[in-house]
A and B are shown apart, each in its own frame.
Chain A
Amino acid sequence: MRPAAALALLASLAAAALLAQHLVSVAVVAVLLFAVCLRAPAERRRLYLLGTLVSGGALFVLTPFIETIGSHPIWTGPIVPVLGQLDITHEELTSAGVNALRLVAVGFAFAAYALLLDHDGLLQAVRFARPAALATRLMPTLERDAAGFLEALRGRGVVVSSVRGRAALLSPLLASALERGLNLAEAMEARGYGSPGRTSLPRPRWRARDSFLVVLAAAILTAGALWL
């Protein structure tokens, strides 16, 4: 399967989840993408899946307190300054569920992209390879850097287990990513990136299966926009 076709399919599923209006439709797309993510090695997929589920859960919990829709209250709480009266309605819960599942579906689609796609093959088709390369490498690099920082700390007898401790690593992680990005750009320049007359490895043939995936992606997108 050509990576561009696989990317089209993942993107269409994510877009369908964003466009679909019904809870069940969005849930089906999310479950489908979850099943795709399970093809990645367990130790690598854990971080992506956990991050996505925690984000989706947080959105589900917070949305009813922020939104004010519906006329079928399930629970009525106290009046809080700025926010007003806290209540949860049936409509708010449904809306929270749809939004959380949308976020989860998009997260799973990204996880599948980061974990399963042949990024080199994708970059072959991209004219502006430098930013694409940097962007593509960002997540796996951050993953490795985070693990490296934690391991170095353990090597000094410091065990970081709290959320606050891990959050403190965000700034050095970002600095590390920027430093690596600069070094990578220098290496690419030294290896001739940007010189005229660039050629390319022969690409694998576009097969009927790839065409089918692109048509399927278009169909999913249309269905998401019109019927789901």
Chain B
Amino acid sequence: MALARADRLTFTYPEASGPALREVSLEIEPGEVVAVLGPSGSGKSTLLRAFAGLVPHFHGGRFEGRVEVAGRDTRSIRPAELAGTVASVFQDPEEQIVLSRVIREVAFGLENIGTAPEDVVGRAHEALAAVGSEHLADRDVAELSGGELQRVCLASAVALRPQLLLLDEPTSQLDPVAAGAFLEHVAGLGIAVLVSDHRPRRVLEQADRVVFLDGGRVLLDATVSVAKDWLGENRPIWLGASMNARVAVQAEPVCRLAGVQFAYRAGLPVVENVHLELCRGEIVALAGANGTGKTTIAKLAAGLLAPDLGTAELRGRAGMLLQDPTRYSIRERADEEVAVGVQGDRARACNALGALGLAGMEGRHPRDLSSGERERLALASVLVIDPDLLVLDEPTRGVDPQRKAELAELLHAGAGRRATLLVTHDEDFAHAVADRSIMLGQEAVLA
């Protein structure tokens, strides 16, 4: 018997022009790992929220059809009552942290579902250990990096020992090794998992089944091998095809870091003795495990931080895209937001929006855009200033493979005019875009 079932589910958010999900029917068996793929805005997150009962209870809207989890109709019970049976991890870890100490944060859900007080701490530690983060137990969440926060959220969900685990982009901020280990761990839990990810390669390795959504409809519901054939034929880009690397012609250096050291707290340097040269015409990927100082180096290169020791030289103008796209919403229209960096020049802003596939959205409020669109709006806000050094910190977070391919093309097209430093955990994207890749401490030139 299926653990969870959606039967002809159609759902429309309040004030939305059309349904986010259309006639979706799906069954999830106990212990099954199901990968939910699809472009941005295809309804993946909404589907996960429907299985958590958050749609329609939390969001309102028009709900037709039926969703059952463990034999219970989600319309007749509150999401809070489903917790324990179902656990969710959402896209942005910063927006789901409730408490300020890691151990208490992981314990929060356990307390809510009525775990015996003497078991709470033990289970919280066990869950942290399972995601490789036991060392964070006594830390303040405000001090953690995005990747570390994501692991804490994952631990909070795993601690509940749910029958159904709903993961919405759960590894977007994890380094490849940590992401692989996490997905392997999740697949080994023996519980049903519904996981949505824009980096499908690793998810497909662990999944039993694939559901592909587009426009709110299920286009494919099949085993992994059948799904790979289907993707190869219909959506080859989801299997990593058609993004080709290039070899840059290096010209004069634009940025040079020499013997750089930086510490956020005195005596605790995050990076030490960093040497890096970025030349006009090249795209350099900076990779490495979570917490190794990639973002710090990127900020030092862009001039957002000044080194404590060593020198940081920049010839020309730098522009940097930060990880969090919500930082690019200080104006009430998309075009005005993008124009902030070019003294309000709306014509240039509209061109930049068009280049990122956001033509027609000039008048929309940045906060009304989807997460993928917000990511592109943020990128447009930086690209519009036409910098000599472009620094991108995780630009593919929440971006589907089709958009990634377009972004790769865009970066290649403008690469000759600037030096580009790309901080990313997305190995496929780095391979497709970068001329060379730096693994903090060891450098390799990509073929």
Contacts and interface: CB of A to CB of B under 8 A. Distances in A.
Interface of A: 41, 118-120, 123, 133, 137, 140, 144, 148-149, 151-158, 168-169, 172, 175-176, 179-180, 183-202
Interface in B312-327: 317-322, 324, 326-327
Nearest to A202: B117
Contacts of B160: 191-192
Shortest 6 CB-CB contacts between residues of A and residues of B: A192-B83, A192-B112, A187-B96, A156-B341, A155-B320, A152-B327
A175 B367 contact: yes
Interface stretch (B23-31, B103-111, B194-202, B435-443): B103-111
Contacts of A153: 330, 340
Interface in B185-209: none
Contacts of A192: 80-81, 83-84, 109, 112-113, 160
Contacts of B112: 191-195, 198
Interface in B387-440: 387, 391
Interface residues of B, number: 65
Nearest to A181: B95
Please report whether the interface of chain A is mostly helix, strand, loop or mixed according to DSSP: helix
B367 A189 contact: no
B419 to A, nearest CB: 15
Given A152-B327, A156-B385, A190-B88, A201 B107 contact: yes
B382 A120 contact: no
Contacts of A118: 100-101
Given A148-B326, A192-B113, A202-B121, 18 more contacts: A119-B99, A137-B100, A155-B321, A156-B381, A156-B382, A168-B330, A172-B329, A183-B90, A183-B95, A185-B58, A187-B88, A191-B88, A191-B112, A192-B80, A192-B83, A194-B112, A195-B114, A199-B116
A7 to B, nearest CB: 15
8 contacts: A133-B98, A149-B327, A155-B322, A172-B330, A184-B96, A187-B88, A191-B109, A192-B112
A191 B127 CA distance: 15
Contact of A184 (B88, B98, B329, B391): B98
Contact of A155 (B78, B81, B265, B304): B304
Given A189-B54, A189-B58, A199 B326 contact: no
Contact of A148 (B92, B107, B322): B322
A194 B78 contact: yes
B79 A201 contact: no
Given A175-B367, A186-B58, A193-B80, A198 B111 contact: yes
Contacts of B83: 190-192, 195
A195 B78 contact: yes
A75 B87 CA distance: 69
A149 B83 CA distance: 35
Residue picked from B58, B83, B90, B387, most chain A C-beta under 10 Å: B83
B115 interface: yes
Contacts of B104: 120, 201
A179 B58 CA distance: 14
B111 A179 contact: no
Contact of B330 (A140, A149, A186, A199): A149
Contacts of A119: 99-100
Contacts of A175: 329, 367
Contacts of A41: 265
A152 B81 CA distance: 40
B120 A187 contact: no
Interface in B326-352: 326-330, 340-341
B276 interface: no
A176 B81 contact: no
B327 to A, nearest CB: 4
Contact of B341 (A151, A157, A172, A180): A157
A191 B317 contact: no
Contacts of B309: none
B319 A180 contact: no
Contacts of B341: 156-158
Contacts of A186: 54, 58, 90
Contacts of B330: 149, 153, 168-169, 172
A44 to B, nearest CB: 9
A188 B95 CA distance: 10
B304 A151 contact: yes
